[in-house]
Amino acid sequence: MKRETTRRKIVRTFLKNRAALVGLVGAVMIIAISLMATVLSPHDPIAQSMGNRLKSPSRTHLFGTDDYGRDLLSRILYGSRLSLMVGVLSVGLGMAAGIFMGVVAGFKGGVLDNIIMRSVDIFMSFPTLLLGLIVLAVLGQGMFKLVIAIAIAIAPRFARLSRGSVISIKQNDYVDAARTIGMSNARIMFGHILPNIIGDLLVMGTLWTATAIRVEASLSFIGLGMPPPDPTWGGIVKQGIEFLDSAPWISLYGGLAIMITVLCFNMVGDGLRDIIDPKLRS
Amino acid sequence: MEKQTDASNNRLLSIQNLETHFFIPEGLVKAVDDVTLHIDEGENLGLVGESGCGKSVTALSILRLIPFPPGRIVGGKILFSGLDLTRLPSNELRKIRGNRIAMVFQEPMTSLNPVYTIGNQIAEVYIEHNHFSPKDAWEKAKEMIEKVQIPSPSKRMGEYPHQLSGGMRQRAMIAMALACNPQLILADEPTTALDVTIQAQILELMEGLHETLGTSILIITHDLGVIAEVADRVAVMYAGKIVEEAEVEPLFNESLHPYTIGLLNSVPALGRKASVGKKRLVEIPGLVPSLYDLPSGCNFNPRCSKKRNICCEEEPPLVELHPGRKISCWAVSEKWA
């Protein structure tokens, strides 16, 4: 009974935060929509129709058409699948790699710690977008390469955060106690220490999902995202730049899609941080 | 010499000339300086001394839990049923930790992982060493919780450390220590962090378990009352060395080393007898020396009422006056010689 109330309290606190609530609803809706993109799209996103170029929003084309006559709404819906998938996968991969490195570095210390963290420093000296750019230039285009590129930019930050947390947690007596019971180092690191630091990491994960989506859009804008004709939000925005005066809805709706998604994930992340921080501090 | 080795091979635990040093910027700290102790099966050894005398480091050395840097076992042997723990490879040592030798710590709140239920933490010991399935381990854990007399075991299994009182957490720790029926338990100030009434309960529990399960206990404490209650034999430590060792009654009734005498005298008396005469609290003059700046000769000499010239020049050896009675003091060994 006691434990349920604590959980309920946490959920209640989160829901009281209106921004977090809006963000959560928004994020859930966006995810649901992207999962049902194939069903919801009124038209084929890559079907060209040269007679229908640059049509403004109407009943048949709710968001209008682009300069190849493709339905913008369908392209944005399909683009959401890519953006969200890249966003979530790259954060997942970056978190896994970064946390692993950070936990090992923090726990073992010494030379290993130095090697790992100095490498992390090197990677972190590059701005995220630039790093993604460099990796893609080397690897080439493609969805998984995109995921890897963004993950490489994200991992160092998680390495740093988890290393710091591990160093403070490993002072605790229960780490010694676990060793006394005969636990191996691996078991202690990932079975005992990691569950104690996961809070902050999850918050960061949510916030970085937002960033990852934005970075994917930026890379697509530059032209390094998925190659045409696959629709990407960044690509849509880029396309629309040429026609800002004649067909502003292209860049507008593309940009709005990016903005709303990033905003929702950020609000959820902030809400999570507000819950986790006071709980940790107490 | 041969006789000694035979005896030590039959012992449960035989620490021989243990040296655990800490290498810190201020200097070399000999936290454990040539310590020789033993525990036989079924007996409880008390290790007494003030904070910083090296008792905890001795216990941690047994399980090789000394953090390096800055600490390290630099010499001596620790024989556990004939196995030299100082030379055992890590994976072999891990099989002994929590399994054949277990440890109970002073602070039960910080020694329990806050994000796991106590049921989980006790079950983990069974999973790790006996390779039980999670379900079996959970059942065994519940049995253990009952054994340490935690009320409402089923309910408590699913609770987190912060939901339990200090006494219950300590019982949970004892349950974890006893899970695999170890031959030896190292209890490092197990009752120091608890209220006096709870202390009594915990000590009773430990004694009871000792009697029913036959586990030997190394009880480390600065509290002489606890020693009187639990120990069969006692060793007194000062500044990293053993200064006196005896069975519990002779130690209390007829202590020989000036430090032991000082310790016993400094225990304040309770009750009417104490207020009669209104004596001042007796103290041992001076302070415990810092371990990287020890006096020459006997470590205790600056504070000793029986000091002789030789005490400032040479360290007294630990001599066995008669079987079971050891003392490290020039004044005393002279008298008995």
Q: What local confidence, expressed as pLDDT, does residue B315 receive?
A: 87
Q: What is the pLDDT of residues A50-109, one digit of tens each?
A: 888 888 888 888 888 888 888 888 889 998 988 899 999 999 999 999 999 999 999 998
Distance CA A3, CA B199 (A): 29
- The residues of B whose Cβ lies within 8 A of any Cβ of A are 63, 65, 94-99, 102-103, 105, 107, 110-116, 124-125, 128-129, 158-160, 163, 173, 176
Q: What is the mean pLDDT of residues A203-220?
A: 90
**pLDDT surpassing 80 at residue A15:** no
**pLDDT surpassing 50 at residue B82:** yes
Contact B98 A182 (CB under 8 A): yes
Share of chain A above pLDDT 70, in %: 95
**pLDDT surpassing 60 at residue B1:** no
**pLDDT surpassing 50 at residue B323:** yes
Share of chain B above pLDDT 90, in %: 34
**What pLDDT band is residue B336 in, cutting at 50, 70 and 90?**
low
**What pLDDT band is residue A278 in, cutting at 50, 70 and 90?**
low
Could you say which DSSP state residue B315 is in?
Answer: P
DSSP A58-101: -SSSTT-B-TT--BHHHHHHHHHHHHHHHHHHHHHHHHHHHHHH
Give the closest of A176, A184, A196 to B94, CB-based. A184
CA triple B86-B92-B94, angle to 5 deg: 90
Q: Which residues, 6+ apart, have CB-to-CB distance to A126 below 8 Å?
A: A134, A153
- What count of residues does chain B have? 337
**pLDDT surpassing 80 at residue A14:** no
Q: What is the mean pLDDT of residues A184-205?
A: 90
Q: What local confidence, expressed as pLDDT, does residue B277 receive?
A: 60
Q: How many CA atoms lie within 13 A of A35 on its CB side?
A: 6
| H or E element that contains B138 | helix B134-147
Determine the residue of chain B that is closest to A174 in CA distance.
B111
In the numeric block, which tokens belong to residue A264?
Answer: 């929702």
Q: Which residues pair with B233 in a beta bridge?
A: B45, B247
Contact A182 B97 (CB under 8 A): yes
Mean of pLDDT over chain A: 87
Looking at A175-179, B67-71, B251-255, which range is the least confident one?
B67-71
Contact A176 B114 (CB under 8 A): no
Closest CA to A258 of A225, A222, A227, A234: A234
Contact B98 A181 (CB under 8 A): yes
**pLDDT surpassing 50 at residue A282:** no
Q: Could you tell me if A181 lies within 8 Å of chain B, comparing CB atoms? A: yes
More confident residue, A193 or A15: A193
Q: Which residues pair with B319 in a beta bridge?
A: B327
Closest CA to B166 of B205, B196, B129, B194: B194
- What count of residues does chain A have? 282
Measure the CA dihedral B25/B27/B29/B34, to 10°: 140
DSSP B47-74: EE--TTSSHHHHHHHHTT---TTTEEEE
Rg (CA), chain A: 22
Mean of pLDDT over chain B: 86
Q: What local confidence, expressed as pLDDT, does residue B3 receive?
A: 42
**What pLDDT band is residue B8 in, cutting at 50, 70 and 90?**
low
**pLDDT surpassing 70 at residue B4:** no
Give the closest of A3, A174, A179 to B113, CB-based. A174
**pLDDT surpassing 90 at residue B291:** no
Give the closest of A174, A179, A180 to B112, CB-based. A174
List the single best residue of A5, A165, A174 to mutate versus B (max B Cβ within 10 A): A174
Q: How far is CA A49 from CA A56, A58, A66, A68, in A?
A: 14, 16, 10, 6
Contact B65 A174 (CB under 8 A): no
Q: What is the pLDDT of residues B184-216, one digit of tens each?
A: 999 999 888 888 888 888 888 888 888 888 889
Q: What is the pLDDT of residues B210-242, one digit of tens each?
A: 888 888 999 999 888 889 888 999 999 999 999
Contact B129 A182 (CB under 8 A): yes
ipTM above 0.85, yes or no: no
**What pLDDT band is residue A263 in, cutting at 50, 70 and 90?**
very high
Q: What local confidence, expressed as pLDDT, does residue A101 receive?
A: 95
Token pair 């915990």 in the structure block, residue: B202
